[in-house]
Structure 1
Amino acid sequence: MPPDVKDQPPADGRSTRWDDHREQRRAELVTAAVAAIDRHGPEASIADIAAEAAVSRPVLYRYFDDKAELHAAVGQWGATLVLDRLMPVLLTDEPIRARVEAGVAAYLSVLEEHPQVFLLLVRHQVTGSDPLADGKAGIASTIARVLGDTLRELGVDAAGAEPWAHGLVGLGLSTGEWWVERQTMSRNAVARYLSEFVWHAFEGIAAEYGVPLSDLDRPTSVPSDITKGRAR
């Protein structure tokens, strides 16, 4: 396959323009990688991804040093998609239990749409690397900020926000992997049980601090960057 002329660096040294082009092309190649993994499963090869993107393997390696870096970019794509679905339903005027249920449903919808991508990411296909490392950290950080802001608004200790957020991320990943692999339960049933678990955790925390749950049934004030649903 002849080299893709779009993928040649600029001859006149306009590095900023080339950087913008490079980021755009990387995003296009990540989208192609997701499509290839959806089609071929977690074992999708670099050749499969290059074919999906209609480029040669050397062109693909111009943008990603190796398969691990490409998988990490897919992991970041997945984390951003989760936050794009999750944060709008959490930051509404609905009662807290309804927001929990909507958030769980939004998360599971991503897994249902891209089960093969999720399996690749949680199985850590490339030895010695975790393609979800940055994504998990970004999601946990965002959830921790939302929890922390809520707790501070209620006038209670917010120190637990970070470990609770990481616990929620771990719970979601473990339950999601079980569900995608086993498929022994409908999405609605999984959503109900997972929502109940998270809700009763919040209910217990509220009781521990002596905060009426009605005080939680109001929208949370958070920085605008969180509402955009981006893993940071």
Structure 2
Amino acid sequence: MTPHVKRDGRTTRWEQHRAERREEFVLAAVRAIDTLGPDASVADIAAEAGVSKPVLYRYFADKNELHAAVGAWAADLVLGRVLTAVLAPASARDRVTAGVAAYLDTLAAHPQAFLLLSRPAGGTDPLAAGKDQIAAKLTRLLGDALRHLGGDTGAAEPWAHAVVGLGTSVGQWWLERHTVSRSAAAGYLSDFIWHALSGAAAESGVDLSRLDAGDGEVSPIRPAEPR
């Protein structure tokens, strides 16, 4: 039994080391893309990481897998910042505004990386898994809110995916065009999302403003428990 335990220990350490190295290479990829733009090559990323291309390919099967890992990093970053904003005590309307502002601020911090991720290449979308992850979190938040207000919780999932799709499209448009300021884009987007959600809810007799902090009830919008 002892050799088996030792092998398991070595395997665990190797898996941890591999995960840490992958994370280092993903961050190097983000730095390279931020500096050189969406066309940064694998060679550019390897140089930024201080390794050769063959070393990089020990951790990622190809460029698409590397970009998918960057997409997962981006989704985690967006989700963390947006959730922090929307879970802060405020009115429901102001939470939407804060969440949208946090989203566009995150894109503005890494514009080249997010431009790359918003332009799927080779038939693959590096943000696909991340968008599903964000939509799942938003579905649970909206579902909790609708349940608290006595609304139709079945609306939560399609509404969540609609918001994610809208945010992705507007984010890409703003990064590519910059025809309005970031604050203006955030204002337009948050207005649209709020009126879409509150209007659809009102059609079924649900008033989302009842979620406002200070209305005498505990807001149901809170961090979801880990699965």
TM-score between both structures, scaled by the size of structure 1: 0.89
Identity of aligned residues (%): 60
Q: Choose the corresponding residue for 1:181, options 172, 176, 194.
A: 176
Shift of residue 128, structure 1, vs aligned partner: 1.9
Find the counterpart in structure 1 of residue 225 from structure 2: 224
Give yes or no for the alignment of 1:143 onto 2:138.
Answer: yes
Distance in 1 (CA, whole Å) between partners of 2:157 and 2:206 is: 19
Residues 33-112 of structure 1: matches in 2 within 5 Å?
Answer: 33-112=29-108
* Letter aligned with residue 216 of structure 1: L
Listed as ranges, the gaps of 5+ residues in structure 2 are 1-6, 214-218
Distance in 2 (CA, whole Å) between partners of 1:123 and 1:17 is: 36
Shift of residue 64, structure 1, vs aligned partner: 0.3
Find the counterpart in structure 2 of residue 6 from structure 1: none
Distance in 1 (CA, whole Å) between partners of 2:207 and 2:224 is: 25
Shift >4 Å, 4+ stretches: none
Distance in 2 (CA, whole Å) between partners of 1:157 and 1:122 is: 32
Listed as ranges, the gaps of 5+ residues in structure 1 are 1-10, 226-231
Pair 142,13 (structure 1): closer, same or farther in 2 beyond 3 Å = closer
* Letter aligned with residue 39 of structure 2: E
| Cα deviation digits, residues 121-157 of structure 1 (max 9, x gap) | 11013x0211111101101111111101111111111
Give yes or no for the alignment of 1:129 onto 2:124.
Answer: yes
Q: Secondary structure at the match of 1:175?
A: helix
Distance in 1 (CA, whole Å) between partners of 2:169 and 2:209 is: 30
Shift of residue 13, structure 1, vs aligned partner: 8.0
Give yes or no for the alignment of 1:165 onto 2:160.
Answer: yes
Contact 2:201 2:207 in 1 (8 A): yes
* Letter aligned with residue 224 of structure 1: E
Residues 191-210 of structure 1: matches in 2 within 5 Å?
Answer: 191-210=186-205
* Letter aligned with residue 11 of structure 2: S
Contact 2:198 2:207 in 1 (8 A): no
* Letter aligned with residue 145 of structure 1: R
Aligned residues: 215
Shift of residue 93, structure 1, vs aligned partner: 2.0
Shift of residue 49, structure 1, vs aligned partner: 0.1
Q: Secondary structure at the match of 2:72?
A: helix
Q: Secondary structure at the match of 1:42?
A: coil
TM-score between both structures, scaled by the size of structure 2: 0.90
Q: Secondary structure at the match of 1:63?
A: coil
Shift of residue 12, structure 1, vs aligned partner: 10
* Letter aligned with residue 86 of structure 1: V
Using CA pairs under 8 Å that are at least 6 residues apart, name the structure with larger relative contact order, 1 or 2: 1
* Letter aligned with residue 129 of structure 1: T
